[in-house]
Every structure is written in C-alpha cells, then in structure tokens.
Chains A and B, each alone.
Chain A
Amino acid sequence: MHTLRLISTFIKMNFQIAMAYRVDTVINILLSMLWLGWELLSLSIIFNNTQTLGGWGPGELVALLGVFHLVNMVMGAVIWPATEKFNSSVRDGSLDYTLLQPANSLFLISFSRIVLWRIWDLFLGFTLVGVGVKMSGGATSGFNLVSFLVLVGSGMLVIYSLWVVLIAATFWFVKFDNNVTILQALMDSGRYPATIYPPWLRVIVTFVVPIAVATTVPLQALRGELSGLRVLMFIAIGVASLLVARQIWKAGVRKYSGASS
C-alpha cells in the first residue's frame, strides 16, 4: 500500500515535469517514430535479400523488434534516468538524504525519476509483437503466449539486477561513473536473434550482459522452442538474480560513508 502510494506520487511528479516540457515530449515521440522507420527499413532490406535469417522469418524479427522496444522502454523510462540521478548524488553527497528516508533505498533510487513519454514504447512494443506474430502465421498456443509474457518480465528482472550490481559497484570504486556504459553499448545486440551471433558474442550477450535473455529467449518461447522446464529455469534465474542483486546493494550501502567523510 505504502509502495503503491509512493509510485503514484512519483508518477504524478514526473507527469508535471513532462508537462513543463511538452514540445520536447512531442519531438521525442517523433524521433522515436523516425527510428522505428529506420528499424523497419533495415529489416526490409535484409528480407529483400533472403527468406530467413538463421531460421527466423520476417514476422519473427518484427516480433523480436517489439520485445526489444519493451526492454528499451524500461531502460529509457527508468534505468537511464535513475543512473544519472544516482551517479550525481554519489558525487555530491545528496545520496545521504535518500538513504535516510523511511523507505527502501533501492526502490527510491530506481523509481523516483521516470521519463513518462517512454510509455509510448510500451504501446509500440506490443503492437510490433502482435503484428509480428500475425505475419508469421499466428498459430501460437496459449501456453507459448503466457510463457512469452512471463519470460519478458523475468528477462527484465535479470537486466535490472545487473544494473543494480553495476551501480552498487560505485560504492567500492568511487570513480566508476560510466558504470552502465557496458549495458548501453550492448543494447543494440537485442535487435537480432542471438542465435546468429558468433559463439563468443553469444556467450557475452547471454551470460555476461544478458540482453539476449530478455529479447531472444522470450521470443523462442513464443515460437514454442522452449520446454516447460526451460521456462521455469529462466523464471528462477530472474528471481534469483534479483535476490542476489539486493544483497549486493545492501552490502554496498553499508560500505557507503558519504561524499564528505
């Protein structure tokens, strides 16, 4: 209840911020449509030259693009703005006030700044997934659809957890202020199925910076390539990584001693 009230306050606050920058909101949405146009054009260039990309058809890649937009939404709406705020608050010491507040510190850091126009990507993402599934024949079973949705969620948990670990590292290595660059730089790999990458890159995007766990894996579930056991395994990985990340965050906060001391 307490958490819900906080969230709704955050959304209200950020709505007011967004309303102060109305023209920017419009410009940002136009730019994101432009990028979408580019992404669809690049897919059409690929499929003008081939029928399948490593066994994946055009509809499936459109659906993958949709999943990528969902992940990108979470990154753009929550993770990047929160990183910016966190890094500057470590530098100038204002993190002290956040830690003193009577709420979960990780929750406050993650959700107090939300870029609302990114919700647009949520709409885009689901539309693309729908269109993609339809294009590729549309014979998906209920089980596949449900496991797809659950795996998108657990994939995002994995990425969120990695982010928590990366920013918590700042408590030990103060100068580590481009902590999330590795995450940002590898995001682009989520637009295409990880199965076509050379083995070493596949290992990186699956185990080191698990972008593929949030993009390729859910789509494999939608295609019915994952057994129930595998689906459960990925859900377990999502939950486990969140628990580990929370512990690391708590250890980091105990280590933290303020910018001036």
Chain B
Amino acid sequence: MLRIYKRLWQVNWAEQWQYRANLLMYLLYWLVSPIVYLAVWTTVATHQGSVNGLTANDFITYYMVLLIVDQMTSETTIYILAYKIQDGTLSGDLVKPVHPILTNTLVNNLAFKALTFMVMIPVWLVLLLLFKPNFSGVTWQAVLLAIPAIVMGFVISFLLGATLTCLAFWTTRVYSIAEFYTTLHMLFSGQFVPLTLMPKFVQDLAQFLPFQLRLYFPIQLILGKLPQAMIIQNFALDLVWLLIAFGLFSLVWRAGVKRFSAVGA
C-alpha cells in the first residue's frame, strides 16, 4: 500500500510541477482576501485603539497565521473529480484496484499543497517584513499542539469536500451546491474576522460546526488565545467530525458508484 502511495506521489508531483509557472497566480487567490480584511480591521483598530479588546497587532497576527493554516487545510477535490464523474472518465479510475478518492485524489491534493507551499513561504516572509507582526504570544508547545489540529482539520474538510463532489453522481448542479457551501464556510470558519466579533448566534452555531475546526481553532491555538477547556473540547469535536465526515463520505460514495455503473450500462 505504501508503495502505491509513493508511486502516486511521484506521478502527481511531476504533474503539478509542470504547472509551476501558474502557481504564483493561484497563490494570489489565497492572499488577496486575508490581506484586504487585515487592512480593514487594522484601520479600525488603529483608529480607536482596539476593537472589542483586539488590537491592531492581534488582527495582523490572526491573518498572518490564517494565511498558513488556510493553505494547509484547504482542498481542491471538486476541481479534480467533479468533471470526471460528469463526463464518465471516472470509470478508468474505478477499474483500478485502489480507492480512487482516498489514494489518487488525496495525493493530488497533497502534491498541489506542497508545491504551492514552497512558493507561499517566501511571499509570507515578505509580508512579515511589511506588516511587522509581534508574535510574542506564540509558544513552541502551542505550535506543536496545532499540528494534529491542522491535520485533522484538513482530513475533515477533505472528506466533506469529497462528499460534496460525489453529489455530482446525482446532479449536474454540484458547483452551485459547492458555492452555497462556500458561503457557509465564510460565515462560520473565521475567515472574514475572528469569530468573537461575529453576532452571538453565529458564534454559538459555529462552535459545533466543522468549518471553524480547519481555520479558527488552529489559528487561536497557535496564538495561545484558547483556555485549556476549549482546546480539549475542540479536539473532541475534531474526532466526532472526523467520524461523521468519514461516515457521510463512505455512504455517498458507495451509493454514487452504484448509480454511476447503472448509468454507464
């Protein structure tokens, strides 16, 4: 099994490497919104000293860490797979003796991530010089603790993204559904603003939804802003959502593949 992953990695890495010139362009998508929000909130915070207890530096560090965490936990399954389900080329993957999503699609995601990350680092360092954040609240223990949180955040969002993509077995409007999902993500993940500034009911809901597990939780964990009880609660939620996401995915995938072969026959 390990050999299969190794070979898939080589193939996908080589495939992504061809498009290295395009990477800087893709990177822009990740960069622009967080920097815009950073500008908005630091303007407000410097104007009046602080926003709800958050200083300009709090916002700068928040969005600087967000850039990294967002990149590490994002996933692109719908672009890799949805068109394959729609035009039928998925059948080529289905006859292979390994699970097409949990192997090839996953590795493709990771190769894309690894390569963009290489471009991301120098850009991030330049931003560090431009914004001069003060990271004195960050400890090594917190960063180490954030690693499992980031990994689980990625796996959950990957499985949920794959579940969403599998809806392409039933409907041609999977991209509209994905857009709806994106608006939910905007609202509940902490992408726009630290969740503490959101309306109360959004915060209460966000607490139990999977969206904040991939952004807000790891970011606040790294910044050392969470009390111990919250950290434990979020790790527990990570495990719960991991199970739910895996269950959902297996269900939808199995039913979808059955339907797919019926269409092809």
Contact = CB atoms under 8 A, between A and B. Distances in A.
Interface stretch (A47-55, A63-71, A124-132, A219-227): A47-55
B199 interface: yes
Interface stretch (A77-85, A146-154, A181-189): A181-189
A189 B183 CA distance: 18
Given A50-B47, A178-B22, A182-B28, A38 B36 contact: no
A198 B33 contact: no
A46 B197 CA distance: 9
A49 B180 contact: no
Interface string B188-206: 0000110001110000000
A42 B192 contact: yes
Given A34-B180, A35-B183, A198-B39, A188 B33 contact: yes
A41 B188 CA distance: 13
B95 interface: no
Contacts of B51: 49-50
A236 interface: no
Given A31-B176, A35-B183, A50-B47, A181 B28 contact: yes
B96 interface: no
Contacts of A45: 192-193, 197-199
B36 A54 contact: no
A234 interface: no
Contacts of B31: 185
B257 to A, nearest CB: 26
Interface string A185-199: 110110110001110
A38 B176 CA distance: 16
Contacts of A197: 36, 39
B186 A38 contact: yes
B171 to A, nearest CB: 11
Interface string A170-186: 00000100100110111
Interface string B28-52: 1101110110011001100110011
Contacts of A182: 25, 28
Interface of A: 24, 27-28, 31, 34-35, 38, 41-42, 45-46, 49-50, 52-54, 175, 178, 181-182, 184-186, 188-189, 191-192, 196-198, 200-201
B2 to A, nearest CB: 35
B52 A201 contact: no
Contact of B48 (A24, A35, A50, A178): A50
Residue of B36, B130, B192, B198 with most partner-chain A CB within 10 A: B36
B199 A185 contact: no
Contact of A188 (B32, B43, B176, B180): B32
B140 interface: no
B110 interface: no
Nearest to B48: A50
A200 B192 CA distance: 22
B41 to A, nearest CB: 8
A184 B167 CA distance: 27
A38 B183 contact: yes
A49 B197 contact: yes
Given A28-B176, A52-B47, A185 B40 contact: no
Nearest to B28: A185
B40 to A, nearest CB: 6
A192 B36 contact: yes
A192 to B, nearest CB: 6
Contacts of A27: 173, 176
A189 B36 contact: yes
A154 B179 CA distance: 31
Contacts of B47: 50, 52, 54
Given A38-B186, A189-B32, 18 more contacts: A24-B173, A27-B176, A31-B176, A35-B183, A38-B183, A41-B187, A42-B193, A45-B199, A46-B44, A50-B47, A50-B51, A53-B40, A54-B43, A181-B22, A181-B28, A181-B29, A184-B29, A188-B32
Contacts of A28: 176
